[in-house]
Amino acid sequence: MERFDRFMAGANAAYYANQDFAADFVTAPELTQVFGELLGAWAKTVWEMMGAPADIILAEAGPGSGALMADALRAWAAPRVHFIETSPRLRAAQAKRVPHAVWHASLATLPEAPLILLANEFLDALPVRQFIRREAGWMERWVKAGVYAEFPAEYTLPDDPVGSVREINEAALDFCEELARRDAVGLFLDYGPMHSAIGSSVQAISHGKFADPLGEPGTADVTAHVDFEAIALHCNAQGPVKQNAFLTSLGLFQRTEYLALRNPARAFALRQAAERLTAPEAMGSLFKAMVLCPKGFPTLPGFE
Ligand code: SAH
Residue 234 falls within a domain, yes or no? Answer: yes
Site to probe by mutation for ligand 1, drawn from 8, 12, 122 as the one with most ligand atoms within 8 Å of Cβ, is 122
Residue 215 domain flag: no
Angle between helices 33-49 and 252-262 (to 10 degrees): 130
> Rounded distance, CA 72 to CA 29, Å?
10
Cβ-Cβ contacts under 8 Å for 128 (sequence gap 6 or more):
4, 5, 8, 167, 168, 169, 170, 171, 202, 224
CATH of the domain at 280: 3.40.50.12710
Query: What is the Å distance from ligand 1's center to 163 Cα?
Result: 32
Within the chain, residue ranges assigned H as helices are 4-18, 21-24, 28-31, 33-49, 67-75, 88-97, 170-181, 228-234, 243-250, 252-262, 264-278
How far apart are the CA of 62 and the centre of ligand 1, in A? 3
Domain tally, the chain: 1
**Inter-residue contact 54 to 82 (CB < 8 Å):** no
Residue 156 is assigned to a structural domain of this protein? no
In this structure, how many other beta carbons lie within 10 angstroms of the beta carbon of residue 19? 18
For ligand 1, the distance from its centroid to the CA atom of residue 250, given in whole angstroms, is 24
Please indicate, yes or no, if residue 163 is contained in any of the structural domains. Answer: no
In one-letter notation, the amino acid at residue 184 is A
pLDDT value, residue 39 = 98
Question: What is the DSSP annotation of 68-97?
Answer: HHHHHHHH---SEEEEE---HHHHHHHHHH
The SS3 call for residue 288 is strand
Q: Is 196 domain-assigned?
A: yes
Cα 242 to ligand 1 centroid, rounded to whole Å? 21
User: Tens of pLDDT along the chain (304 residues)?
Assistant: 999 999 999 999 999 999 988 888 899 999 999 999 999 999 999 999 999 999 999 999 999 999 999 999 999 999 999 999 999 999 999 999 999 999 999 999 999 999 999 999 999 999 999 999 999 999 999 999 999 999 999 988 999 999 999 999 999 999 999 999 999 999 999 999 999 999 999 999 998 899 999 999 999 999 999 999 999 999 999 999 999 999 999 999 999 999 999 999 999 999 999 999 999 998 989 999 999 999 999 999 999 9
In a domain, 146, yes or no: no
Which of helix, strand or coil describes residue 261? helix
Helix (H, G, I), strand (E, B) or coil at 52: coil
Task: Give the structural domain span for 240.
Answer: 20-126+170-204+220-292
Give the pLDDT confidence score for residue 261 in this predicted structure: 97
b/e 54-76 (16+ beta carbons within 10 angstroms → b) = eebbbbbbbbbbbbbbbbbbebb
Q: Answer left, alpha or beta for residue 20, where phi above 0 means left and psi between -120 and 50 means alpha.
A: beta
pLDDT at 22: 86
Specify the ligand 1 atom closest to the Cα of 60: 1
Nearest ligand 1 atom to the CA of 121 is: 4
What pLDDT is recorded for position 92?
97
pTM above 0.85, yes or no: yes
Distance CA 276, CA 28 (A): 9
> By C-alpha distance, which of 48, 57, 98, 92 is closest to 74?
98
- The torsion angles phi and psi of 171, rounded to 5 degrees, stand at -65, -40
For position 303, what pLDDT does the model report? 98
17 by DSSP, 3-state: which?
helix
Which residue lies with its CA nearest to atom 10 of ligand 1? Answer: 62
Quickly count: other Cβ atoms within 10 Å of residue 236's Cβ. Answer: 13
